[in-house]
Amino acid sequence: MRETRQKKERKEEVRTGTGRRTVEKKNVRGAAVKRTAGEKGLRIGPARKSGGEEAGRRKIIAGEETGRRKNIAGEETGRKAVRTGMRKSMEKPRVKNDSQAVKREEKTKRAPMPEVNEVKKLKAEEAVNETKIEGRNAVIEAFRSGRTVDRLFLLEGSQEGQILTVKREAAKRGTPVKFVTRQRLDQISDTGNHQGVIAYLAAYAYAEVEDLFRKAREKDEDPFFILLDNIEDPHNLGAIIRTANVVGAHGVIIPRDRAVGLTATVAKASAGALNFTPVAKVTNLARTIEELKERGMWFVCADMDGTPMTSLNMTGSLGLVIGAEGSGVSRLVREKCDMIASIPQKGEINSLNASVAAGVLCYEIFRQRNL
């Protein structure tokens, strides 16, 4: 029994020892593995870190190189553009002929400032651009169709075939022609393609002086005409036509040159009176006065140095002459008149607008003839 128990104890010790050794071996092997893995980690970590830093440096260097190349390319493009611009500016522009060169030079020059009266005319012309026609063929056809042309502007110095045709048509109909520079034509042109010809058409047809006498005979009245000496403002002309209709004047006479015609602005300012009051256009106002005197008419003109209007006898066949704004009645026309009437004044200003002065004198004539 004792031997048996000893053997068992010895076997148990042997198993226990083996187990310890096995455990010890496992522990030793595990520590070695961990130690080996740690050593590998220590070696791999710095390697990976150094590889990332190297890649970052390479990207930075590549970006800097790309930026530098773009800057160089941009600077080169800028230098090429500057050289091209300098070369173009130094080159002489090529033109087909000398006339085109003159035209370009005229456009580059600054247009001279027009006079005060010229500015007024330009404004009036711009306000009635619906009666304006431009171009050689358009103006020629307007003449041949019977349209009334108030004013004709032609390029000075032009001797081309169609320009000469326009001149002939204007001469046949007594149309006033004004020769101006290309700069002036460009100023009043709406289309920019005037071809050296711009015409202003009358919004209404003109009457003859005989039509005014006919109207007086129809009403069985002494003739009463209003003659305008170079009135240039269309609003003034329209207002005078309106006043003439209200006071019973039989018509208005205007000169052909240096005066506004029957434009759309005049028609609007007359408030419809242009449909009932005939307007005649004559070549020479002084000569017309002489002719009308032979038919028994008397003439009175407005001037602040004349006789007060209430002291004059303005009944019978009478013509009232109203002068231009600022300059008044011209000397030659004034000498043809029989009387000079002034409007009584009391204030510090000693002049009236042309249409206002005409209205005051017309009502004095109306009072003496009808009241």
CATH 3.40.1280.10 fits 209-370, yes or no: yes
Tell me how far apart the alpha carbons of residues 169 and 149 are, in angstroms, rounded to a whole number: 10
Q: What does the alpha-carbon distance between residue 227 and residue 300 come to, in Å, rounded to a whole number?
A: 10
- DSSP letters spanning 199-210: EEE-SSPPBPHH
Distance CA 308, CA 99 (A): 60
Using alpha carbons only, give the angle 366, 269, 117 rounded to the nearest 5 degrees: 100
Q: Which of 281, 132, 148, 248 shows the shortest CA–CA distance to 194?
A: 132
Confidence at 2, pLDDT banded by 50, 70, 90: low
Where in the chain are the domains?
A: 127-201, 209-370
**Each residue of 291-339: pLDDT tens digit?**
999 999 999 999 888 999 999 999 999 999 999 877 889 999 999 999 9
pLDDT for residue 318: 95
Length of the chain: 371
Cα-Cα end-to-end distance for the chain? 179
143: Cβ contacts below 8 Å, ≥ 6 apart? 149, 166, 169, 170, 172, 173, 175
Is the pLDDT higher at 299 or at 143?
Answer: 299
Q: Which carries the bigger pLDDT value, residue 239 or residue 55?
A: 239
Mean pLDDT of 119-123: 48
In this structure, are residues 276 and 207 in contact, taking their beta carbons and an 8 Å threshold? no
H or E element at residue 104 = helix 98-108
pLDDT at residue 304, rounded to an integer: 86
Across the chain, what does the average pLDDT equal? 77
At 190, the amino acid letter reads: D
- For the 127-201 domain, the top CATH level (class) is alpha beta
Q: Which pTM was predicted? A: 0.59
CA distances from residue 72 to 58, 65, 83 in whole angstroms, order as listed: 21, 11, 17
Would you state the structure tokens that stand for residue 118, as one six-digit string?
């010229």
Element (H, E) at 281: strand 279-282
Give the three-class secondary structure for 89. Answer: helix
Site of tokens 């007086």: 216
- Written as one letter, the residue type at 362 is C
What does the pLDDT read at residue 319?
96
pLDDT band at 20 (very low <50, low <70, confident <90, very high): very low
Residue 10 has pLDDT above 80, yes or no: no
Contact 169, 143 (CB under 8 A): yes
Helix, strand, coil shares of the chain, percent, nearest 5, are 55, 15, 25
Phi then psi for residue 163, to 5 deg, are: -65, -40
